[in-house]
């Protein structure tokens, strides 16, 4: 199957929806019409429609045509940009295989004091989370866990405590990606300055050495006091958490931290001695990373891909 041709069909249908030419409930042109119009095979058209149907953008009503189906989810109008950004972070973390089953959680504060925040609902795989799926919680509301849309208990405990105790950390991403979790499992959990990526985090990671069980109750409260001014918390014997003012920055930190851990673990695996740069060079490079902040460019580029390939994340 020619990927380019099938993407042409997806783009064609998406453009019709985005421009308003096709609205919710409209029947799209038939497979043979699309095949002739775009000069592609019926098989290519079917593949494209399969993909759009999987994303809930289209719905095949057998014998009656294929409908635009964006109304399966009601577009939430509150915190639209925040919801859309956080949904994009879930989708891309899934593509990078950073998520684990239906555990792990991302949140984004929407009130000034950080007490109100968006969080993923319980039981959803990151790859299917849409903007309207995110639940709005208040960390001061004691009834949260008895409500029908109650979140995962450890998500509630960790993110509630983190937002309460770190109001500067608007976006908090917590996962157990492979290489960060390996580093968290070593006795020496420090990020050694062995390449440009690892130097980004030189002396800039808060490390927890006192794991005492799942992130609930007192453990969550304890974790929330360790971050300090850093944007990365390496949770010993557990995973990693990044915290920043925007989703783009927290995601950029998470991406580069996992890459850095991969480089470091890979270097350890060779069994050869590490070639560490000096304290001065590592410090200078870490500062250069701070001055060169391409997190918005990075995240915007990812969102452009999602806009084309899985636009339902914004719904």
Query: Which residues contribute to the site for Zn ion (CB under 5 A)?
Result: 239
Task: Return the closest-CA partner of residue 183 out of 166, 210, 147, 207.
Answer: 207
Nearer to Zn ion, 6 or 117 (CB): 117
What stretches of 29-170 adopt beta strand conformation (E)?
Answer: 58-61, 65-68, 105-109, 116-119, 135-138
Nearer to Zn ion, 1 or 101 (CB): 101
Residue with tokens 């350890």: 268
**Least CB distance to Zn ion at residue 95 (A):** 20
- In the complex, the smallest distance separating the C-beta of residue 161 from Zn ion, rounded to whole angstroms, is 13
Q: For strands 232-235 and 205-208, give the pairing.
A: parallel
Nearest position to Zn ion, beta carbon = 239
Measured from the CB atom, the residue of 160 and 239 that comes closer to Zn ion is: 239
CB of 237 to Zn ion, least distance (A): 11
For helices 247-270 and 178-185, angle between their N-to-C axes, nearest 10 degrees? 60
Q: How far is the CB of 241 from Zn ion (least distance, A)?
A: 8
Least distance CB 246 / Zn ion (angstroms): 22
* Cβ–Cβ under 8 Å, residues 31 and 45: yes
Tell me the HSE value of 142 on the side-chain side, using a 13 A CA sphere: 0
Q: Are 147 and 68 in contact (CB under 8 A)?
A: no
Through-space distance between the first and last CA atoms of the chain, rounded to whole angstroms: 29
Q: Name the residue nearer to Zn ion (CB basis): 69 or 206.
A: 206
State in angstroms the smallest separation of the CB of 44 from Zn ion: 42
Integer Cα distance of 261 and 274 in angstroms: 14
Neighbours of 267 (CB within 10 A): 17
Closer Cβ to Zn ion, 69 or 104, answer by number: 104
Secondary structure letter of residue 147 according to DSSP: S
Nearer to Zn ion, 177 or 193 (CB): 177
């Amino acid at each position: 199957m020619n990927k380019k041709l099938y993407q042409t069909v997806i783009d064609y249908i998406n453009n019709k929806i985005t421009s308003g030419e096709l609205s919710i409930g409209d029947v799209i042109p038939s497979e043979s019409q699309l095949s002739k119009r775009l000069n592609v095979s019926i098989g290519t058209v079917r593949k494209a429609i399969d993909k759009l149907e999987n994303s809930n953008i289209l719905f095949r009503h057998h014998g009656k045509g294929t409908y635009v189906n964006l109304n399966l989810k009601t577009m939430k109008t509150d915190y639209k940009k925040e919801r859309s950004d956080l949904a994009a972070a879930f989708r891309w973390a899934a593509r990078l295989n950073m998520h684990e089953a239906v555990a792990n959680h991302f949140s984004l504060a929407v009130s000034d004091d950080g007490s109100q925040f968006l969080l993923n609902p319980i039981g959803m795989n990151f790859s299917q989370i849409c903007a309207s799926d995110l639940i709005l919680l208040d960390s001061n509301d004691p009834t949260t866990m008895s409500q029908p849309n109650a979140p995962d208990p450890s998500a509630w405990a960790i993110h509630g405590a983190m937002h309460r105790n770190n109001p500067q950390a608007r976006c908090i991403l917590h996962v157990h990606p492979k290489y960060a979790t390996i580093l968290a499992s070593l006795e020496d959990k420090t990020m050694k300055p062995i390449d440009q990526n690892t130097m980004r985090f030189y002396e800039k990671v808060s490390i927890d050495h006192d794991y005492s069980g799942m992130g609930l109750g007192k453990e969550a409260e304890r974790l929330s006091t360790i971050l300090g001014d850093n944007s990365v918390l390496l949770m010993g014997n557990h995973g990693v958490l990044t915290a920043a003012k925007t989703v783009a920055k927290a995601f950029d930190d998470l991406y580069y931290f996992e890459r850095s851990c991969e480089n470091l673990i890979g270097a350890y695996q060779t069994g050869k001695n590490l070639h560490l740069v000096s304290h001065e060079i590592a410090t200078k490079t870490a500062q250069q990373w701070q001055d060169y902040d391409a997190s918005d460019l990075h995240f915007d580029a990812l969102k452009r891909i999602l806009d084309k390939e899985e636009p339902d994340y914004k719904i």
